[in-house]
Amino acid sequence: MPNQPISGNDLARFAGPGTFMRLPQVESAAGLDVVFVGIPMDHGTSWRSGTRFGPKEVRSESAMIRPYHIQTGAAPFDALDCADIGDVPINTFNLADSIEIITAYYDELLTHDVKPLSIGGDHTITLPVLRSIAKKHGPVALVHVDAHADVNDEMFGEKETHGTVFRRAYEEGLISPEHVWQVGLRGTGYTAEDFTEAQGWGFNCVLAPEIWHKSLTPLAEKIRTSIGPDRPVYVTYDIDSLDPAYAPGTGTPEIGGLTTPQAMEFIRGLRGLNIVGADLVEVSPPYDLTGNTALTAANLMFEILSVLPGVPYR
């Protein structure tokens, strides 16, 4: 029997370990199918901070989630051995050093045949994670849900920040540009080309107004067809893709975003892709003292878990 989350019927939800869904905490990813990893940092952000508290709060809110996805039939814990390995020991006084620490950490993690589901942390974390992922899998397809394209060349002269991740990933060949899908882009830009330059590299960009008021199931189907069932895919989910009405606890909010049901149906539509890892980033609990943003993030992480290859349906 694979690891199971502690049931709310066996131990009160507010008790027990502070792991994701109260799964066992482990020291090593050996033998696991899925490992939850926290990356508590916010020194890559450009506006509001606070994502250093993201992993702790997302884990805390995840205690509400039950193991069976009765809406879709997914039963992830029936087949996948999952656990929480805790947090990456980043250097909170040094961003560049933290990026090195994260890559070294994931290089070791990925010596095991495990899929990392990472909880940020600001979006900077995705660059060092992708460096490790690409070492193992080669250039991956990318499903990137975000209000922002995060393709700036630099910010204050810095090449590695939460706003430059996907330009670096493109330059370094970590991703297959024709198989990059950026979904939910909106807001204002520094130049008129902010959302079009990356399309010249091959990126597929879906602006938020194109999907306002629509089901995202057809878009997910189009993405599945475009990427195909075999190519390794990394999913990076920036919580600010949601409208601030649904997810106010984030660093760089933009109005006019996705609804929670759109986010759920989009992730559900990714089932069938060869997802090799994912992250959920930019949850800043101090900006949402209700906990709703962290609660939403925890549930979206469960949605991602539920569409991983090998998850049975009942």
| Chain residues in the site for Mn ion (CB under 5 A) | 123, 146-148, 150, 238, 240
In 3D, which of 253, 275, 255, 264 has the Cα closest to residue 297? 264
Calpha distance 62→299 (Å, rounded): 7
Our CB check for Mn ion shows the closer of 57 and 146 to be: 146
Our CB check for Mn ion shows the closer of 148 and 271 to be: 148
Residue 185 and residue 206 in contact, taking contact as beta carbons nearer than 8 Å: yes
Calpha distance 201→149 (Å, rounded): 13
Number of H helices, E strands in the chain: 10, 8
Our CB check for Mn ion shows the closer of 83 and 119 to be: 119
Our CB check for Mn ion shows the closer of 19 and 45 to be: 45
In 3D, which of 95, 93, 89, 83 has the Cα closest to residue 30? 83
Residue 121 Cβ vs Mn ion, minimum distance, rounded to whole Å: 11
Calpha distance 76→98 (Å, rounded): 32
Residue 238 Cβ vs Mn ion, minimum distance, rounded to whole Å: 4
Residue 257 Cβ vs Mn ion, minimum distance, rounded to whole Å: 10
Our CB check for Mn ion shows the closer of 19 and 262 to be: 262
Q: Say what the alpha-carbon torsion angle 115, 296, 206, 220 is, to the nearest 10 degrees.
A: 60
Residue 67 Cβ vs Mn ion, minimum distance, rounded to whole Å: 30
Residue 171 Cβ vs Mn ion, minimum distance, rounded to whole Å: 17
Our CB check for Mn ion shows the closer of 61 and 238 to be: 238
- Output the CA–CA distances (angstroms, integers) from residue 126 to 51, 81, 149, 150, 224, in the order listed: 14, 24, 13, 11, 22
Our CB check for Mn ion shows the closer of 43 and 123 to be: 123
> CA geometry: angle at 209 spanning 274 and 187, to 5°?
95
As a whole number of Å, the CA-based R_g of the chain is: 18
Our CB check for Mn ion shows the closer of 110 and 147 to be: 147
Residue 253 Cβ vs Mn ion, minimum distance, rounded to whole Å: 9
Residue 26 Cβ vs Mn ion, minimum distance, rounded to whole Å: 29
Residue 16 Cβ vs Mn ion, minimum distance, rounded to whole Å: 32
3-state per-residue secondary structure call for 47-90: CCCCHHHHHHHHHHHHHHCCCCECCCCECHHHHCCEEEEEECCC
